[in-house]
């Protein structure tokens, strides 16, 4: 028996889902589709660009994209082929990967809230976002991230209130960079929660301001281009190469939150963070063993962990760019990300 949970959204097609199938939140139809394809081992021929938009009505139109989406959200072939399932009543807490399952549920709720707040256009219909629009989107999204993701972490391990603020402030920028890169796999731009895009090679569109002359725009691009280029280099190419799936992305986000060595972090908080990191590392190893097998998981863990270093370096570049923007009063200096960098 699988444990019934609150009504959620299938991460493949958006239909109603009440439980986890093969390691991810999905509806029965998509779970059965995934099971059939894994058991049959039929090769799926791709007849599209690989970016089909799937919903309850259109999920049958492209088997290739539907199957790829199943893998992206963390459905495990090994669970199907071994005739097992990630049961939630018959397993211990460790066997459940409880943090990963909890994070998946919270992330699904976050995505539902984003659709309510922002709507969501397809990437094919997307447009370039300006700096002021991006700032508004990020500000709203930070509230949703705090509501769904940060609150989940805070409930898992309690620390003093001031230490919670330190962990949260240290988490937001890296998480936004990590998740935005995950959302943007396979494209050159970064895709915002609204579906609009930002491209380091098209900063003239990002800093466009019809009410001002072009000189401030040129100055801003000239001074901030290196920080944008560095961030994209650290985030985009590695993500497109290793293609993190949702489970890996969420586990990395947990490692980002329970960081240590942060300015003004207490010894007690550091100790609790190290304890939680041990749990997360165990869950990551367990997940990769399920996905790649006992013999082949080590290299994948190295790839996943190496991406975390790039996220931290990109976060530093964003913070440095924010300081420059404020010192020289450049366009976009009011970005909420830069506000966190000053805290």
pTM for this model (two decimals):
0.73
Which of these, 85, 74, 105, 96, lies nearest to 6 by C-alpha position? 105
Q: Mark 222-256 as b/e (b = at least 16 C-beta within 10 Å).
A: eebeebbebbbebbbebbeeeebbbbbbbbbbbbb
Q: List the chain pLDDT tens, one digit each, 343 residues.
A: 344 446 788 889 888 887 777 778 888 888 888 888 887 777 788 888 777 888 888 888 888 899 988 988 888 877 776 544 444 333 333 444 689 989 999 999 999 999 999 986 555 556 899 999 999 999 999 999 999 999 999 999 889 999 999 999 999 999 999 999 999 999 889 999 999 999 988 998 898 875 565 667 888 989 999 999 999 999 999 999 999 999 999 999 999 999 999 999 999 999 999 999 999 999 999 889 888 876 678 889 999 999 999 999 999 999 999 999 999 989 888 998 887 755 5
Return the CA Rg of the chain.
Answer: 21
Domains and CATH numbers, the chain: 8-91 (3.30.50.10), 127-342 (1.10.565.10)
User: Rounded distance, CA 14 to CA 183, Å?
Assistant: 16
């Amino acid at each position: 028996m699988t444990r019934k949970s609150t009504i959620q959204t299938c991460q493949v097609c958006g239909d109603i889902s009440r439980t986890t199938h093969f390691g991810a939140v999905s509806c029965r139809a998509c779970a059965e589709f995934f099971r059939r394809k894994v058991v049959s081992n039929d090769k799926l021929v791709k007849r599209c660009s690989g970016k089909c938009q799937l919903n309850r009505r259109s999920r049958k139109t492209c088997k290739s994209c539907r199957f790829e989406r199943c893998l992206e959200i963390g459905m495990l072939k090994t669970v199907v082929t071994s005739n097992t399932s990630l049961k939630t009543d018959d397993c211990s807490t460790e066997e459940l990967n409880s943090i990963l399952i909890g994070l998946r549920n919270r992330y699904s709720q976050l995505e539902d809230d984003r659709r309510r707040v922002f709507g969501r256009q397809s990437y094919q219909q997307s447009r370039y976002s300006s700096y002021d629009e991006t700032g508004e989107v990020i500000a709203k999204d930070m509230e949703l991230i705090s509501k769904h993701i940060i609150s989940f972490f805070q409930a898992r391990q309690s620390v003093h209130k001031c230490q919670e603020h330190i962990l949260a402030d240290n988490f937001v920028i890296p998480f936004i960079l990590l998740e935005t890169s995950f959302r943007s796999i396979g494209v050159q731009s970064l895709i915002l929660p609204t579906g609009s895009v930002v491209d380091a090679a098209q900063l003239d569109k990002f800093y466009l301001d019809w009410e001002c002359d072009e000189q401030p725009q040129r100055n801003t691009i000239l001074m901030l281009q290196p920080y944008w280029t560095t961030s994209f280099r650290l985030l985009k190419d590695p993500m497109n190469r290793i293609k993190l799936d949702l489970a890996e992305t969420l586990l990395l986000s947990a490692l980002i939150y329970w960081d240590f060595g942060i300015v003004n972090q207490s010894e007690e908080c550091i100790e609790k963070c190290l304890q939680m990191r041990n749990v997360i590392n165990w869950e990551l190893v367990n997940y990769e063993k399920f996905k790649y097998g006992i013999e082949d998981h080590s290299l994948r863990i190295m790839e996943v962990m190496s991406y975390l270093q790039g996220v931290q370096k990109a976060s530093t570049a964003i913070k440095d760019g924010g300081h420059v923007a404020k010192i020289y009063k450049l366009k976009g200096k009011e970005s909420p990300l830069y506000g966190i960098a000053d805290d």
